[in-house]
Amino acid sequence: MSSLVLGIESSCDETAAAVVRDGREVLCNVVHSQNELHKRWRGVVPEVASRSHTSRILPIVAQALEQAQVRPGQLAAVAVTHRPGLIGCLLVGMAAAKSLSWLHGLPLVAVDHIQAHVHVAFMVEPALPLPAVNLVASGGHTALYLVHEPGRAERIGTTRDDAAGEALDKAAAILGLGYPGGPAIEAAAQGGDPRAVRFPLPLRHAEHLDFSFSGVKTALLYHLRGNALERPMPALDAAQVRDLAASYQHAVVTTLVGKLARAVRAVGARAVAIGGGVARNQLLRRRIAEEPALRGVRVVFPPLDLCSDNGAMVAGLGTLLLAQGKVADLDLAAAATARRTAQEAS
């Protein structure tokens, strides 16, 4: 018998719901992004985000069920992101999930958002060669996971300061580009010279697998305004913006690919996968595909809509956790921080 799981996601600035059959087949994947709401602040404003989730969550869930042509009573479970994220945002999705669970007598499954990003690789390729290394890079997180088997992933490296997406968002703000910054930098970099400015590649040669992105953002600021920030922000022409965007993107991507390759070597991984909003970046995908150190390693690039925040990944991992009997109570609490392993998360 097939199992239909509803996945609900509201940990940051996407209100999302999806129905997934048998842990893999995405029947619908409804995502409402709040980019328009937050762009004047060039970052997510938590209170604004949770208020928007509150008004959107029920219509989004209804839309997902309608698109999938599924009645709540046909569901095997409701899976919901309960960590990590903005508490006020998590609580909205969790309240919706708990209500559906109680009303329709459905098991409630608690999903760790980052582990769900990692799990997408198995939705795309169930026979993923193992062990695998998964790079999750988003606006809030940048980490490497060693994946032993579905649902069992362990963090082996993380950022010590900013996330890669955050570094791109901040650079876009400095350069006066759009929000969110990742796609804005990617678009602005078209035709630019990635070697025009040499930005630092922090921790690149360090043996460990941690990242640091705050220095590259500061380097951009210093490049424009002098080391003591003594100069006003210069007016940049289109060619300068192109070159700066290309050079900055090159630095972020080179750092990510370098650590990914180091991780693969360190653990003897047979596959790599990527997830999170930054995994939408085409230069990152190209550089991973061309990386000599990854030759002979299976590379999985999930479709773009499964990289940025979505409900399908929550339903996907939720299906596995349900099969493992990991069902939550209605007093399930939200948590702001990530756990290091999937076991801890359930």
| CA gap 242, 249 in Å, rounded | 11
Footprint of ligand KG4 on residues 25-64 (CB under 6 A)?
none
CA distances from 302 to 8, 263, 273, 308 (A): 19, 20, 8, 10
Closer to ligand KG4 by Cβ: residue 93 or 182: 182
| CA gap 257, 270 in Å, rounded | 16
**Partner in contact with 278, chosen from ligand KG4, Zn ion, none, beta carbon below 5 to 8 Å by kind:** ligand KG4
Residue 276 as a binder of ligand KG4 (CB under 6 A): the answer is yes
Contact 338, 140 (CB under 8 A): no
| CA gap 127, 229 in Å, rounded | 52
Closest Cα partner for 61 from 21, 17, 7?
17
Q: Least separation, in Å, of the C-beta of 302 and ligand KG4?
A: 12
Q: Which of 263, 278, 322, 338 binds ligand KG4 (CB under 6 A)?
A: 278
Closer to Zn ion by Cβ: residue 66 or 305: 305
| CA gap 321, 152 in Å, rounded | 11
**Angle at alpha carbon of residue 327, lines to 323 and 333, rounded to 5°:** 145
Q: Least separation, in Å, of the C-beta of 126 and ligand KG4?
A: 23
Q: Is the peptide bond before 72 cis (omega within 30 degrees of 0)?
A: no
Q: Least separation, in Å, of the C-beta of 12 and Zn ion?
A: 7
The pair of structure tokens assigned to 274 is: 């990527």
Q: Which of 30, 75, 309, 342 binds Zn ion (CB under 5 A)?
A: 309
Q: Which of 9, 112, 162, 186 binds ligand KG4 (CB under 6 A)?
A: 186
Residue 181 as a binder of ligand KG4 (CB under 6 A): the answer is yes
Sign of CA dihedral 264, 266, 268, 269: negative
Closer to ligand KG4 by Cβ: residue 12 or 60: 12
Q: Least separation, in Å, of the C-beta of 74 and ligand KG4?
A: 29
| CA gap 211, 331 in Å, rounded | 36
Number of residues that bind ligand KG4 (CB under 6 A): 19
Q: Least separation, in Å, of the C-beta of 281 and Zn ion?
A: 14
> 235: which DSSP letter?
P
Instruction: Give the CB-nearest residue to ligand KG4.
Output: 182
| CA gap 196, 72 in Å, rounded | 55
Q: 48-58 burial by CB neighbour count: b if 16+ within 10 A, else e? A: ebbbbbbebbe
Binding mask 159-178 for ligand KG4 (x = CB under 6 A): ------x--xx---------
Residue 12 as a binder of ligand KG4 (CB under 6 A): the answer is yes
**Partner in contact with 180, chosen from Zn ion, ligand KG4, none, beta carbon below 5 to 8 Å by kind:** ligand KG4
Interface positions with Zn ion (CB under 5 A): 138, 309
Interface positions with ligand KG4 (CB under 6 A): 12, 138-140, 165, 168-169, 180-183, 186, 276-278, 280-281, 308-309
